[in-house]
Structure 1
Amino acid sequence: MAHEHKLEIFRGLWKFKSNTQKIWGVLAFLTFVTAIEVVLGIYKPAALTDTYVLGMKLLNWIFIILTLVKAYYISWDFMHLRDEKSAMRRAIVWTPIFLVLYLVFILLVEANYIFEIYKDGFIKWNF
């Protein structure tokens, strides 16, 4: 039995008549998000580069968020995650999130240990 692809994006806000129109709509969305990233990367507004949030520049947070939006949308639409059951979607999305958080935790703990060794230990800062 053939499975029909949904000809809509953004949870049904935009509906298309054919697969070709849908591909162009997806291309337009991804191009728009990429253009925002490129413009911000070229101009680097002072308001975004001078503002720090959680120890990182606001501009970097914007880049990370826009990149995650694109990655999520590509996997949602092109990998057909929207057609899967919710358990499968959660397994695919949450597993890398937990693994990345675990990696960040390990890196921070180890970095703190190395910092303390260099600060209080017998090894000098020579770099």
Structure 2
Amino acid sequence: EYILETAFAEDGLDGAATVAHALVQRAVDAHPGIARLTVALDRPVIGLGASAPLHYAGLPRLVGNGCVVPDDTDVANAPGAVVGQVRVSAEARISQPKEGLFRLASGQTVRDFTEEAKAIAAAEADVRAIVAERAKEAGDR
């Protein structure tokens, strides 16, 4: 029911109240009657963690859609597997050694510009490229 509650909340409804509604409860419980109600997710659920094969085994009939449990699910929720961070930085400096000249120093390069806006744009592009490369080298995908 927590999965349905989350799905209803994502759809803009009060998730807890919607799941508690008698019609949704009849659908989840597969209550027999003249009017048969069903509730289904529009996408499969991805099960993670060592216990996923056990906990998600009966889920498809409850949510009306499949459940995918990846082969490596036992390590997918291990400490460090869920949250990872790569932090890198880069710096660019723009100086004005004389009137009408803007000098950009970024990475291993020094370039001169006659317009400040172009120097700033080049600095931003350089820094983005440098940090993207450094992040890739540090293990970001």
- TM-score over 0.5 for the pair: no
Q: What range describes the TM-score normalised by the shorter chain of this pair?
A: under 0.3
Richer in strand (by share)? 2
* TM-score, structure 2 as length reference: 0.22
Larger RCO (CA under 8 A, 6+ residues apart): 2
* TM-score, structure 1 as length reference: 0.24
